[in-house]
A and B are shown apart, each in its own frame.
Chain A
Amino acid sequence: MRPTSYTVSFLVVLKNTLKRIQSTTLACLLFLVLLLTSKQLEMTMMGHVLIQLPLLVVCGWLVTPSLPSRLESAIEKDNEYGIPGILIVIFTVLFWMLPRSLDAALASPFMEFTKFVTLPTLIGIPLALSWPLLTPVAKGFVIGNLLSMLAVLGWLYTQAPIRLCNYYLINQQQQVGNLLLAITAGIALYFTLKCFFFDKNLEVGAL
């Protein structure tokens, strides 16, 4: 290899390393901020459900490129087509969608700890590792299910005559329900426009 090739290779490695460090630093900072602001965010249902929980997932997603390559390739070996990983994501999402899980996180320090651990490690990281491996049909299936789950949850929160979470007021519950419905509609609209209007040659795999 000529000296210029060494230089180019070195620069590429350096650039990727810096990107990874940047991403990990951002993830750690975000996690720290979420940890320090947990009481404030959890005071409202909107802060808890629509800000804290998704950002904890983002922390896991951001930290994924910094995983040791040996670990990443070991996971990839078992995570064929991304199916095992996405199944872990789906079960963890279902768990934290339960109103009683939200209540438990507020009532028990152990469940609060579990939330801070499982959302990045059992949703964020597996999602980042599995999404690129999923087949186009599987991606469409996951998006379709996500939209229907969000819509049902949003509808439930807006229509339930009683508080589903004991620790939040009913008007906060309705507010979160309306926002979940709006988010669902937004995501659905985005994919509809993308698939049918803006990019007619788009494959599902490119979502």
Chain B
Amino acid sequence: MRLTVLIFTILVAGSSVLWLETNGFQAFTSERARRLAVTATPKPLPIVTLQDHNGREFGFADYNDRVVLVDFIYTRCPTMCPIMGARFRQLHRSMENISPDKRYSLLSISFDPEHDTVAVLSSYADTFGADGSSWRMARVSDQAKLDFLLKELGVVIIPDEFGGYQHNAAIHVVDRGGRVAHILDYDVSSEQIQQVVQQL
């Protein structure tokens, strides 16, 4: 009897710890966990001064009452960032078919401000067709503020062996209140994004 009670206690305690650690057996990776966390409780963006590819300074608050899709990139990236750039270009073009009140803005933030100067970003923006109004390429020149922003959102940047970086590739959906409300895969369909935006 004593053994049965002990085994039962360990089974319940062990399963509970695993259940808590994995958000109810839903999140086995920290990437999945951060996505579930913002969906459950949208995360306010910190106050950060950004500089767009035209050299204009702005903040997240300037997007007042508009949904923003944010991705994090660096222009030297040979793999994920061009793919995300192409995805944003598709989304940018597809907005022509959306009524103005349901449109959203696109924002690509570079986490490599040392290399990605305004001139470099401007050239990158030309390559992908970012117009500077509904789609901006931007940088955070204050490294401490950039680090804080990345940490707050759970974006992890690690140097690779080729002098570049590996990072979370995702689309961060910022609601009309300036909070990250969803984090989506970069290859999610335009229809799914439209659905998410309409809910916000």
Question: Which A residues lie at the B interface, using CB under 8 A?
Answer: 78, 80-81, 83-84, 87-88, 90-91, 94-95, 98-101, 103-104, 107, 162-171
Contacts and interface: CB of A to CB of B under 8 A. Distances in A.
B83 interface: no
Contact of B29 (A83, A94, A99, A170): A99
A166 B6 contact: no
A93 to B, nearest CB: 10
A84 B28 contact: no
Contacts of B168: 166
B30 A166 contact: yes
B18 A100 contact: no
Contacts of A78: 2, 6
Contact of B18 (A81, A94, A99, A169): A94
Interface residues of B, number: 27
A100 B27 CA distance: 8
B166 A170 contact: yes
Contacts of B154: 166
Interface stretch (B7-15, B38-46, B49-57, B112-120): B7-15
A99 B30 contact: yes
B160 interface: yes
A154 to B, nearest CB: 15
A171 B162 CA distance: 12
A165 B156 CA distance: 10
A166 B10 contact: no
Nearest to B166: A169
Nearest to A107: B30
B30 A104 contact: yes
B10 A88 contact: yes
Given A91-B10, A91-B18, A169-B160, 19 more contacts: A78-B2, A80-B3, A84-B10, A87-B10, A91-B13, A91-B14, A98-B21, A99-B29, A99-B30, A100-B27, A101-B21, A104-B30, A162-B31, A166-B31, A166-B154, A166-B158, A167-B156, A169-B158, A171-B161
Contacts of B14: 87-88, 90-91, 94
Contacts of B28: 98-100, 164
A98 B22 contact: yes
A87 B7 contact: yes
